[in-house]
Structure 1
Amino acid sequence: MGARHGLRVDAVLIQAVIAGALSFAHLHDLASAAGQNGWKAWAYPVSVDLLLVAAWRRLRSDGPSRLAWCWVLIALFASLGANVATAGFLDLTDPPALLRLGIAGWPALAFLGGTLLAHSSATEPELEPEPVPLALVPQSSDPETQPPEVGREPGTAPVPSPSPAPAPAPAPTPVLAATPTPPVPAVLIDHARKVADEYRARTGSPIDTDTLRSRLGVPPHLADAIAAHLA
């Protein structure tokens, strides 16, 4: 079984060497027919193959992108065009002016493609919300989230404690009562301020409450309190 696997790998390598040598020779013949003599005719197939390898490596390392696929297709078109042109479809003793133009302009095109593939950065990934330690999140005052009382089974209603009869209260004075703000730890505020600054630097606009709550992973009432501190 291992010997058969080794033979299959060897056959693939031999086929790749043969195909590469033929494509290399066709590119050399086409460049030589277009007037590129000496070492320049040998440099053309090296340039085409290196551009194809660089674009394919960019696809494998950074994932699919329009830039990498564009230069893969350009290099593949140059290689396939040379194979077709040297198969008798063109008179290499008198090549057309369009072929001479393409061969003469290839070095500048290949240099541009190699520079873009080497120095362009990949798309910035979407930042995942950073987890917040549970110790920094204050406990909610919602009775549904509170632990059950000692001596009471979960799922049963709490037994109301007897309360003394209320004393007559004076007439209430109409005063606007402010909504109490839950306490927020200073460490959590500092962390939220860093998240908000990073969001503003990346998008150019202040962070909204829903995005802040999603990034920090906190309850809505706590997100509102943090947003009030950041305002």
Structure 2
Amino acid sequence: MPRKIHVDAVLIQAVIAGALSFAHLHDLAAAAGQSGWKAWAYPVSVDLLLVAVWRRLRTERSKLAWFWFLVALVASLGANIATAGLLDLDHVPAWLRILVAGWPALAFLGGTLLAHQPAASAPELAPEPVSRSAPVIDLDRPETPAPPPEITTPEPVPALPEAPAPAVPPALVDHARKVATEHRTRTGAEIDTATLRTRLGIPEDLAGAIVAQLA
């Protein structure tokens, strides 16, 4: 279904303002030496640059877009003021003729820069966290208690077999008995394993076996 155009005061005002600005730009271009279709092309060029700038400003407020907006606004507003009687259109100064003649190149440059300028990339949005639904608990069904954990009894560590007592030669026992007697006479106490091992220079287990035989 086609959309209906609602005619209101704002739309009528916009059409009137656009027509007057268009006519002023045409008159100024014609007074600056641009005759025929060229005089009509100047207001079209200015309005198209304004449209291009407006489209850029809707998506990005860059310094380049604002610069060309001011350029197009000065061109349009300057033509309106110049044709208000402040400028003798029969004797247009040379600098204004230069500006009017150089406008096509300036408008082409601005339109090209606006069309080919890369748009600013939108900031990347962080991914939304995945919501995990809470577990549903059925209150009508009684909960089954979890079985108690099994307790395992550690197996006993087998005892290490005792090392057999070393064999003691009889001659070494006799010599040890003499050393023990001399130690008892001198100190009044029985000789111990450490002392006997030091006196005889034998291993500790062998000294223990001899002390056990002397007891």
Q: Is the 8 A contact 2:60 2:120 kept in 1?
A: no
Pair 1:25-2:18 in alignment? no
Return the match for 2:70 from 65, 73, 76: 73
Q: Quick one: distance in 1 between partners of 2:20 and 2:125?
A: 49
Unaligned runs of 5+ in 1: 1-5, 135-150, 152-231
**1:93 partner SS:** coil
Query: 2:57 matched to which residue of 1?
Result: 59
CA RMSD of aligned residues (A): 2.2
Deviations 1:148-180 (A, max 9, x none): xxx9xxxxxxxxxxxxxxxxxxxxxxxxxxxxx
Q: Quick one: distance in 2 between partners of 1:129 and 1:46?
A: 45
Please tell me the residue identity of whatever aligns with 1:104: A
Pair 1:113-2:99 in alignment? no
**Matching of residues 189-228 of structure 1 within 5 Å:** none
Q: Quick one: distance in 2 between partners of 1:128 and 1:13?
A: 39
Return the match for 1:47 from 38, 45, 48: 45
Pair 1:122-2:119 in alignment? yes
Q: Select the structure of larger CA radius of gyration.
A: 2
Q: Quick one: distance in 1 between partners of 2:37 and 2:29?
A: 11
Return the match for 2:94 from 91, 94, 97: 97
Q: Quick one: distance in 1 between partners of 2:56 and 2:28?
A: 28
The count of aligned residue pairs is: 129
Deviations 1:16-52 (A, max 9, x none): 1110000000000000000000000000000000100
Deviations 1:93-135 (A, max 9, x none): 010111001001000000011111111111233444456879x
Q: Quick one: distance in 2 between partners of 1:80 and 1:11?
A: 22
Q: Quick one: distance in 2 between partners of 1:133 and 1:44?
A: 58
Query: 2:85 matched to which residue of 1?
Result: 88
Please tell me the residue identity of whatever aligns with 1:43: A
Cα separation, partners in 2 of 1:25 and 1:127, compared to 1, 3 Å: same
Please tell me the residue identity of whatever aligns with 2:56: R
Unaligned runs of 5+ in 2: 1-5, 132-145, 147-215
Q: Quick one: distance in 1 between partners of 2:97 and 2:55?
A: 30
Query: 1:228 matched to which residue of 2?
Result: none
Query: Percent of aligned pairs with the same residue?
Result: 72
Q: Quick one: distance in 2 between partners of 1:65 and 1:86?
A: 32
**1:95 partner SS:** coil
Please tell me the residue identity of whatever aligns with 1:21: A
Q: Quick one: distance in 2 between partners of 1:35 and 1:133?
A: 69
Please tell me the residue identity of whatever aligns with 2:68: W
Please tell me the residue identity of whatever aligns with 1:75: A
